[in-house]
Amino acid sequence: MSNYHIKHLEEYFQVYRKSVRHPEKFWEEIAEEHFLWRKPWDKVLEWDFTKPEVKWFQGAKLNITENCIDKHLFSHGDDTAIIFEPNNPDEEALHISYYELHKRVCKFANVLKSKGIKKGDRVCIYLPMIPELSVAMLACARIGAIHSIVFAGFSSSALATRILDSDCKMVITSDGSYRGAKTIDLKSIVDAALEKCPGVENVLVAKRIDSDIKLKEGRDEWLQPLLDEAEEDCKPEMMDAEDPLFILYTSGSTGKPKGMMHTCGGYMVYTAYTFKNVFNYRTGDVYWCTADIGWITGHSYIIYGPLANCATTVMFEGVPSYPDFGRFWDIVEKHKVNQFYTAPTAIRALAKENIEYIETHDLSSLKVLGSVGEPINEEAWHWYNDNVGKKNCPIVDTWWQTETGGIMISPLPHSTPTIPTYATLPLPGIQPALMDEEGNELEGYQVQGKLCIKFPWPGMARTVWGDHERYKDTYFSAYKNKYFSGDGALRDNVGYYRITGRADDVVIVSGHNLGTAPIEDAINEHQAVAESAIVGYPHEVKGNALYGYVILKEAGASRKHENVRKEINQLITEHIGPIAKLNKIQFVSGLPKTRSGKIMRRILRKIASNDTDSLGDTSTLLNPEVVEEIIENSLNK
């Protein structure tokens, strides 16, 4: 028997050792015992990080929805799969059983087929957190179509870029969405995007809000009447373990977003195994992850991981502040949530509010608390531990990425002693390495370097959609034979890992991974802007906020700075979305550059963080004088 569920620290070490000594055997046992395969694999693993090429369970056939739904019908069909908690607390929550989910997914899958969607076709899903989102993604997986979910907070041009990049034939959206007291007109965002996307043949529109929208003749259709007509059964498409399951875009430090491609077999095994262990999930528990399904956290730990374990997973449509700052705790109490998984930015925002919002709710159902998306600072950790967990719930600080598919480094509840700000130990099967500047692996304890992984794991992305070279350049070129995460980390004297932050030009704002280059591209479109550089700086609630240094063209110098600032943020909102807006914009006459013309972001970061005592050597700069000027006029003093 494989040790699918680890119960104490000794066992963790035992399992970990085995997973490193015999990785193939380790994953093979898990895959064999806990999943439904329609044909076994010919080979557990084939890999070569120099190409890079990674194949898990090659030759095996499966369908992930059979594992997430059908497999549970016989003994757990009436159990709740998804609890949908609407934005408005007065609207009744919806409990979708596994039977019901099966029916809905099959109907939706039949609608997709009736519109000509086949195995391998890309379908873009641009939906708010409503049940149709979960059903749509599973329906794609049912028939082997590749879903590409775009977070519904992205702008029309960000949506268009993603639709074009993966050449989607269909878009699934809604007339609008609720977000706290606001309603958002999603459909017109889709309409604007589609002006640039002639390849999209069909748009299916879910009805969510009370609005009067236009459907484009021959392209758009209401979803519900199609579902009403559809058959209740749909045979799952048999997929190869290495067939694509979905594409999900993540920002890079340069250029356009990268469509990370995940495959069926390995992703399923990895998300299911990590979900079970990291959250210590037991049958009957109610689990809630507050992320949006539009991010990898939602893909892996609202839908695929939990459902593969026959869990009850909560899906919340709204925001933590509506109708008041007690909403999260209200939901925990109402649904008796056992495992709660959220982001440090949400914790910090809630910690600023009156403690009564918490104290008036019964949180005694909670057993495990999770954190993800960015390093959790000590203060937030303690607030979470004291007030939410009442010092009774282990906190799992989970480190991972869109690229890794699932959690990589994390404590296991009741096994791993936790320390604030430490993601602690690698999960079984994960072999981290810390690298120094010269590209050597740092052995032993109390070392700090760039965080790499030296052996494949089943959940890893296999490529960047349409650009394998970029996949290789970004992740497998910095260090020979290793996957480079882009993060820095240290390993302490007992082997615990602490993530120290991004080592590249990606800034994590409120848990959202934002590349600075696309933001700069958006700003530079402003007619008065000559050049710009964006950096992150520490922010009390968001973790990091964005600080822009902008050089104006001659003609722009006379314009009112306040207006230009507004217009810049407007441009960013249009090109990327409001999450990428700049908190501070400083107009400068030049940017510090190396002799080869590269902007020295390190210096700009320090100035933005008001940490100018340790700027380091600036004498090698092309224009050292500009540094003085920038410090002088800094907005963060």
Given the rule CB under 6 A, which residues bind ligand WT7? 250, 296-297, 372-375, 397-402, 423, 485-487, 499, 502, 508, 513
Q: How far is the CB of 408 from ligand WT7 (least distance, A)?
A: 9
Q: How far apart are CA 174 and CA 206, in angstroms?
A: 4
Q: How far apart are CA 47 and CA 512, in angstroms?
A: 31
Residue linked to tokens 């195994």: 273
Q: How far is the CB of 253 from ligand WT7 (least distance, A)?
A: 11
Please identify, using beta-carbon distances, which residue of 40 and 255 lies nearer to ligand WT7: 255
Q: How far apart are CA 458 and CA 263, in angstroms?
A: 9
Please identify, using beta-carbon distances, which residue of 41 and 249 lies nearer to ligand WT7: 249
Q: What is the β-pairing status of strands 447-453 and 441-442?
A: unpaired
Is residue 582 a contact partner of residue 513, using CB atoms and an 8 Å limit? no
Q: How far is the CB of 452 from ligand WT7 (least distance, A)?
A: 12
Q: How far apart are CA 100 and CA 79, in angstroms?
A: 10
Q: Could you tell me where the DSSP H helices lie in 82-176?
A: 98-114, 131-143, 156-165
Q: How far is the CB of 284 from ligand WT7 (least distance, A)?
A: 27
Angle CA 331–335–336, to nearest 5: 105
Q: How far apart are CA 432 and CA 401, in angstroms?
A: 14
Q: How far is the CB of 397 from ligand WT7 (least distance, A)?
A: 5
563-596 burial string, b = 16+ CB within 10 Å, else e? ebbebbbebbebbbbebbbbbebbbbebbbbeee
Please identify, using beta-carbon distances, which residue of 464 and 499 lies nearer to ligand WT7: 499
Q: How far is the CB of 511 from ligand WT7 (least distance, A)?
A: 6
Please identify, using beta-carbon distances, which residue of 70 and 374 lies nearer to ligand WT7: 374
Is residue 119 a contact partner of residue 139, using CB atoms and an 8 Å limit? no
Residue 95 CB coordination number (10 Å): 14
What is the CB-side half-sphere exposure of residue 340 using CA atoms within 13 A? Answer: 27
Please identify, using beta-carbon distances, which residue of 55 and 512 lies nearer to ligand WT7: 512
Angle CA 448–450–456, to nearest 5: 120
Please identify, using beta-carbon distances, which residue of 404 and 532 lies nearer to ligand WT7: 404
Overall residue count recorded for the chain in this entry: 637
Please identify, using beta-carbon distances, which residue of 169 and 482 lies nearer to ligand WT7: 482
Residue 128 CB coordination number (10 Å): 26
Please identify, using beta-carbon distances, which residue of 110 and 401 lies nearer to ligand WT7: 401
**Of 508, 542, 573, whose CA–CA distance to 153 is shortest?**
573
Please identify, using beta-carbon distances, which residue of 98 and 483 lies nearer to ligand WT7: 483
Between the CA atoms of 125, 129, 132 and 133, what dihedral angle is there, to the nearest 10 degrees?
A: 40
Q: How far is the CB of 248 from ligand WT7 (least distance, A)?
A: 9
Q: How far is the CB of 292 from ligand WT7 (least distance, A)?
A: 11
Q: How far is the CB of 301 from ligand WT7 (least distance, A)?
A: 9
Residue linked to tokens 């933590």: 320
Q: How far is the CB of 94 from ligand WT7 (least distance, A)?
A: 26
Is residue 181 a contact partner of residue 147, using CB atoms and an 8 Å limit? no
266 residue type, one letter = G
**Of 30, 57, 61, 35, whose CA–CA distance to 46 is shortest?**
57
Q: How far is the CB of 300 from ligand WT7 (least distance, A)?
A: 8
Q: How far is the CB of 78 from ligand WT7 (least distance, A)?
A: 32
535 residue type, one letter = V
72 residue type, one letter = H
Please identify, using beta-carbon distances, which residue of 410 and 532 lies nearer to ligand WT7: 410
Please identify, using beta-carbon distances, which residue of 299 and 335 lies nearer to ligand WT7: 299
Q: What is the β-pairing status of strands 463-464 and 258-263?
A: antiparallel
Please identify, using beta-carbon distances, which residue of 97 and 345 lies nearer to ligand WT7: 345
